[in-house]
Amino acid sequence: MVNSQPYVHVSQFASNNNNISGCAPMTVSLYDLWHARLGHPHHDALKEALKLCNVNIPSKSPNGLCSACCLGKSHRLHAPSSTTVYHTPFELVTCDLWGPAPIKSSTGFTYFLTCVDAFSRFVWVYPLKLKSETMSKFIHFKSMVELQFNCKIKTVQTDGGGEFRPLTKYLTELGVVHRLTCPHTHHQNGLVERKHRHLVETGLTLLSQANLPMKYWDHAFVTAAFLINRIPTPVLDNKSPYYVLLNKQPDYKALKIFGCACFPFLRPYHTTKLAYRSQECVFLGYSSTYKGYKCLSPEGRVYISKDVLFNEQRFPYSSLFSNTKSYNPNPTPTVYNSPSHVPLHLPTQSINSPTQHQDIPTPTQNIPSQSPVLCPAPLTTVYHTHSPPSPPTPPSTSSSFNSATSSPPIQTSNASQHIFSPSPADESIHVSPSPSPPPLPTKKPHVPHHMLTRSKTKNNPTVLVTHIEPNSVKQALQSSHWVTAMKEEYDALLRNNTWTLVAPPAHKQPIGCKWVFRVKENPDGTVHKYKARLVAKGFHQQAGSDFTETFSPVVKPVTVRTVLTMAVSNKWPIQQIDVNNAFLNGILEEEVYMQQPHGFEVSDKTLVCKLNKALYGLKQAPRAWFDRLKVALIGYGFKASKCDPSLFMIKTGTLHLIVLVYVDDIIITGSSLHHIQQLISKLNAEFALKQLGALDYFLGIEVFHLANGALLLSQAKYIRDLLAKANMDTAHGMPTPMVSSLKLSKVGSVPVEDPTLFRSIVGALQYATLTRPEIAYSVNKVCQFLSNPLEEHWKAVKRILRYLSGTLHYGLLIQAAPVDKPLTLIGFCDADWASDPDDRRSTSGACIFVGPNLVSWWSKKQTLVARSSAEAEYRSLANLSSEILWLQSLLTELGCQFHTPKILCDNLSTVSLAHNPTLHHRTKHMELDIFFVREKVLSRNLVVSHVPAQDQWADVLTKPLSAAKFCSLRDKLRVFDKQQLLKPSSASAREY
């Protein structure tokens, strides 16, 4: 039976042949039929097969291609070699990105950008840490080409990768052709692809010969590019790319074997006359900034020297760094923070274009020619012994990296050796004229310059944490403090009947939970308590099933400052309470199941917790808690405010009580301390409270009670922690948060090293503006660059931090207003017209005073472009009018009497528009704002007046100012030094 099946097919084939006449020619339709019968073979195979049947086969079917063959046999077509000949440099530049590398390099790189000139085949290599750096590196490369070679790039060819997409718009605007390869067709960019292979193979060969670890691949690839550019190639008629591009022969006499032993002259670094003049190091290649060699010392430093002796028969890395492995086929990157490695910016040289090249005399001819070679890594810690005689040019911008003990920071530049355009941003940074001695192996490396900033060190900030918080339950169970804290939390959950253990339901998936550990500190930094919190993994919840509504209101900062003004003016007591496990009091309306908490599982671990009460981490927990508290307060006779849902009031006769709610932190003030205590007792009976006494620390804001009854709101501890996070806790203070002439833009410098850190610091600065209105403009300005922060933006952030460091104890003063007359309600509005250089939008700024106290302020970029300064000012006036109307409603609800609000503006046209019923073609598009303000003015609910520019207090909220004017307006905004206010002589000077 096994052999019968093929026999059947043969017999059928023979039978079918009998139906065809002997040697009759085959028609086109029969050709297609047999082509399909035989499984769509090639024409020649089909022809040979049918010869066995005496069937004459014609030429290939004229009907065109077989659709089935196209679908099933499609493959790449032959791509002939390009026959285009380029006659001048940079007619075509091909670029590609290599990476990511399986291991980060010793200086933290993961990619490198390769640029190849199609005429000379000269290659430039730019190591990168992020793909997003590709655009900035190419711009540097283009600037270098235009300056050093006095010619323009005509065509750039890349693949369609996302890192090259921004180049299209940039090159098109410059008139440069941007050619793209077809998707998934790498061979169309074969020139740079082959160059990648050449670079990598040469680099790996150098590492293998020197027995160096893979983390030094960046130095090896950079050296490979240096050598490839100097090696003759048959493609250029046995000429080297160096010769074709620069029209002079390279110098081979000073080349040394990569990774061999070397002995640099180190006597200038020693402090004693008995110290050895040199030490054995590892040769890491050629400096791109100096005419010297890079030498890796056993301490992990890199020295650059022209006075080096080489032993090319010895490769000492294994003996000098015996604790490291030379090769790992599956390397795992290990990163260390090394604060001792401080980047030192070194001067650079430039060369003339090939047509105008002049030889530069040097002290020695034993060093490789400082001509275009490669694009090495960014600037890092370097010790050099001799500088070239030519005058230095501004150093290039540096990048950060993490280095291991055996992974030194390496001095290199941001472009090819001597073929780059250095950044002028760092002109003030220079090499110290007196070299510092290298430390002994048992000592910390010496810092070559006394001033350290984070942009120089380029190390991730290290925050000193004296009280360690465990990262897992296993760690926490090893400490009695945390075991006690976990037991207290678990017992509280059981007492509260937070859950019921049930069998897992079939229709719902239980969500997870985890323990969160925090050390709560007092304002002076001492430990207040060890807090363990069981948190549900709310991100596992399904919308519509596990939760519906999630919004929960919190009290507005404006409301808090307004109520404090009332309390201080009426000499009311101000009490603060904290609700223990507040979210656990919320009643869940949805059916939610959770896994048992780790470390406290019952014997039957298959059971799950059916939640009866809300738990921290649940999406609806804040809303459930607020609804429960709101019901309780309304039951006590309180009424929720319409202006701020988190404000509750009760006013009967002479009794006036006010409650401010911010999640579980509550402020209570009123005319009767007895009734305040009664309210606290009622809340304590229903919820577990922690009575904190008089208000002194609320949401990270320290409240100081002055002798005259005033309050000073300060965030000294918060700012101190923020400075430590940014590694600037020892920074010197500055008189202003921003230079008066500074104009920040979206372009102009390189991206920051760590965008996440930038966003974290700027976000934290926004919270600092709660008590520091004078930095509102500066913080708002840097917030506009969160999507793509640059180094210039990071410098502006550091300037703000340095200002805060010098004014750490400053805060917002809340004074008593006269109680025998109505409150004054005054607002200042201003605008800086077309101040943004990127889109020419204006900046609005405004502030509102209730009595003597500043209660509201803002600095915002306008959403539309204003066609005149009057339009910009009027938009600011309209926004301020809206805020004052809301504040009027709030004061009315609080039972305060106040004069008609008054707005002061320094633009006469704006004031005129607010009063006069005129409308012309230049104001038609502003009709809504004009009629809104004018209606309030005509109804005498608002007064708009002119104020001279020198008396415009909102000026500090719209633009950077000089130190003298800034300090003057800071006082106007009621921001004072706590230490000055505590002096007896200053108390009367601050009275209203």
Instruction: Looking at the structure, tell me whether residues 829 and 952 fall in a common domain.
Output: yes
Residue 246 lies in a domain: no
CA distance 846 to 906: 12
Residue 623 CA, distance from chain mean position: 32
**So what's the pLDDT on residue 211?**
92
Using only C-alpha atoms, the chain has a radius of gyration, in whole angstroms, of 38
CA distances from 597 to 605, 669, 921 (A): 10, 39, 68
Mean pLDDT of 437-456: 44
Cβ atoms of residues 780 and 770 within 8 Å: no
**So what's the pLDDT on residue 774?**
94
Mean pLDDT of 125-130: 91
Res 928 pLDDT > 70: no
What confidence category does residue 420 fall into, taking pLDDT thresholds of 50, 70 and 90? very low
- The packing angle between helices 908-915 and 869-894, to 10°, is 60
What confidence category does residue 360 fall into, taking pLDDT thresholds of 50, 70 and 90? very low
CA distance 838 to 354: 38
Cβ atoms of residues 958 and 844 within 8 Å: yes
Res 390 pLDDT > 90: no
Cβ atoms of residues 726 and 801 within 8 Å: yes
Q: Which of 551, 557, 477, 482 is nearest to 517 (CA)?
A: 482
**So what's the pLDDT on residue 460?**
45
CA distance from start to end of the chain: 113
Instruction: Looking at the structure, tell me whether residues 635 and 684 fall in a common domain.
Output: yes
Q: Give Dmax (Cα) for the chain.
A: 127
Mention every residue, 6+ apart, whose C-beta is less than 8 A from residue 547: 541, 590, 592, 618, 619, 620
For the four alpha carbons of 34, 39, 44 and 49, in that order, the dihedral sign comes to negative
Extract the tokens encoding 125.
């290599």
Residue 412 lies in a domain: no
**So what's the pLDDT on residue 927?**
55
Q: What is the pLDDT of residues 225-281, one digit of tens each?
A: 999 999 999 999 999 999 999 999 998 988 999 999 999 999 888 878 888 999 999
**So what's the pLDDT on residue 912?**
80
Res 348 pLDDT > 50: no
Cβ atoms of residues 821 and 779 within 8 Å: no
Cβ atoms of residues 546 and 592 within 8 Å: yes
Residue 204 burial by CB count (10 A; 0-12/13-18/19+): exposed, middle or buried?
middle
Mean pLDDT of 563-591: 89
Run of H or E including 635: helix 621-635
Query: Whole-number mean pLDDT of the chain?
Result: 79
Q: Which of 200, 195, 199, 131 is nearest to 157 (CA)?
A: 195
Res 433 pLDDT > 60: no
What confidence category does residue 508 fall into, taking pLDDT thresholds of 50, 70 and 90? confident
Cβ atoms of residues 445 and 301 within 8 Å: yes
What confidence category does residue 85 fall into, taking pLDDT thresholds of 50, 70 and 90? confident
Angle at the Cα of 321 (from 298 to 299), degrees rounded to 5? 20
Residue indicated by tokens 């889109």:
839
Instruction: Looking at the structure, tell me whether residues 532 and 642 fall in a common domain.
Output: yes
Q: Which of 400, 414, 360, 429 is nearest to 143 (CA)?
A: 414
CA distance 758 to 786: 8
Q: What are phi and psi of 469, to 5 degrees?
A: -105, 125
**So what's the pLDDT on residue 436?**
42
**So what's the pLDDT on residue 273?**
84
pLDDT: is 63 or 714 the higher one? Answer: 714
pLDDT: is 866 or 308 the higher one? Answer: 308
Decide: pTM greater than 0.75: no
Angle at the Cα of 303 (from 301 to 309), degrees rounded to 5? 125
Res 375 pLDDT > 50: no
Q: Which of 194, 221, 236 represents a domain boundary (last residue)?
A: 236
Instruction: Looking at the structure, tell me whether residues 193 and 108 fall in a common domain.
Output: yes
Extract the tokens encoding 356.
């105008």
CA distance 228 to 205: 13
CA distance 45 to 64: 18
**So what's the pLDDT on residue 760?**
94
SS3 at position 520: strand
Q: What is the pLDDT of residues 953-976, one digit of tens each?
A: 999 999 999 999 999 999 999 999
The DSSP bridge partners found for residue 579 are 689
Run of H or E including 488: helix 480-495
Share of the chain above pLDDT 90, in %: 39
Run of H or E including 814: strand 810-814
Mean pLDDT of 878-896: 91
**So what's the pLDDT on residue 763?**
93
CA distance 709 to 990: 12
Mean pLDDT of 832-846: 90
What confidence category does residue 205 fall into, taking pLDDT thresholds of 50, 70 and 90? very high
Cβ atoms of residues 455 and 731 within 8 Å: no
Q: Which of 213, 236, 259 represents a domain boundary (last residue)?
A: 236
Res 373 pLDDT > 50: no
Mean pLDDT of 586-593: 86
Instruction: Looking at the structure, tell me whether residues 485 and 624 fall in a common domain.
Output: yes
Extract the tokens encoding 441.
């192996």
What confidence category does residue 113 fall into, taking pLDDT thresholds of 50, 70 and 90? very high
Res 583 pLDDT > 60: yes
CA distance 458 to 794: 12
Res 79 pLDDT > 90: no
Run of H or E including 979: helix 978-981
Instruction: Looking at the structure, tell me whether residues 739 and 795 fall in a common domain.
Output: yes
**So what's the pLDDT on residue 598?**
87
Cis (ω within 30 of 0) for the bond into 735? no
Q: Which of 735, 755, 705 is nearest to 575 (CA)?
A: 705
CA distances from 100 to 128, 130, 341, 485 (A): 10, 9, 25, 45
Residue 43 lies in a domain: yes
Q: Which of 236, 267, 296 represents a domain boundary (last residue)?
A: 236
The DSSP bridge partners found for residue 177 are 155
The number of folded domains in the chain is 5
**So what's the pLDDT on residue 178?**
92
Instruction: Looking at the structure, tell me whether residues 676 and 716 fall in a common domain.
Output: no
Res 426 pLDDT > 80: no
Instruction: Looking at the structure, tell me whether residues 671 and 750 fall in a common domain.
Output: no
Instruction: Looking at the structure, tell me whether residues 114 and 55 fall in a common domain.
Output: no
The DSSP bridge partners found for residue 689 are 579
Residue 449 lies in a domain: no
pLDDT: is 456 or 236 the higher one? Answer: 236
Q: What is the pLDDT of residues 666-707, one digit of tens each?
A: 999 999 999 999 999 999 888 888 777 889 888 889 999 998
CA distances from 712 to 516, 679, 816, 976 (A): 33, 27, 12, 8
Instruction: Looking at the structure, tell me whether residues 51 and 160 fall in a common domain.
Output: no
Angle at the Cα of 461 (from 458 to 465), degrees rounded to 5? 160
**So what's the pLDDT on residue 617?**
87
CA distance 179 to 183: 12
Mean pLDDT of 489-511: 87
Cβ atoms of residues 629 and 636 within 8 Å: no
Residue 900, domain CATH: 3.30.420.10
Residue 424 lies in a domain: no
Res 736 pLDDT > 80: yes
Residue 454 lies in a domain: no
Cβ atoms of residues 596 and 615 within 8 Å: no
Residue 746 lies in a domain: yes
Query: Going edge to edge, which strands form the sheet with 281-286?
Result: 308-311, 261-264, 281-286, 293-296, 302-305, 383-384
Res 306 pLDDT > 50: yes
CA distance 381 to 408: 8
Instruction: Looking at the structure, tell me whether residues 125 and 208 fall in a common domain.
Output: yes
Share of the chain above pLDDT 70, in %: 79
Instruction: Looking at the structure, tell me whether residues 844 and 754 fall in a common domain.
Output: no
SS3 at position 978: helix
**So what's the pLDDT on residue 711?**
93
Which range, of 323-332, 552-561, 626-635, 914-923, averages the lowest pLDDT?
A: 323-332
Q: Which of 833, 823, 825, 837 is nearest to 792 (CA)?
A: 837
Cα atoms found within 13 Å of the Cα of residue 73, Cβ hemisphere only: 10
**Three-state DSSP string of 109-143:** CCEEEEEEECCCCCEEEEEECCHHHHHHHHHHHHH
Q: Which of 781, 806, 796 is nearest to 719 (CA)?
A: 806
pLDDT: is 141 or 13 the higher one? Answer: 141
Mean pLDDT of 417-427: 34
What confidence category does residue 834 fall into, taking pLDDT thresholds of 50, 70 and 90? confident
Q: Which of 880, 873, 881 is nearest to 942 (CA)?
A: 881
Q: What is the span of the domain harbouring residue 927?
A: 816-973
Q: What is the pLDDT of residues 527-551, one digit of tens each?
A: 888 888 889 988 888 887 778 888 8
Residue indicated by tokens 């590492």:
207
Residue 466 lies in a domain: no
Which range, of 28-37, 38-47, 88-97, 768-777, averages the lowest pLDDT?
A: 28-37
What confidence category does residue 602 fall into, taking pLDDT thresholds of 50, 70 and 90? confident
**So what's the pLDDT on residue 399?**
34
What confidence category does residue 361 fall into, taking pLDDT thresholds of 50, 70 and 90? very low
Extract the tokens encoding 44.
């020649």
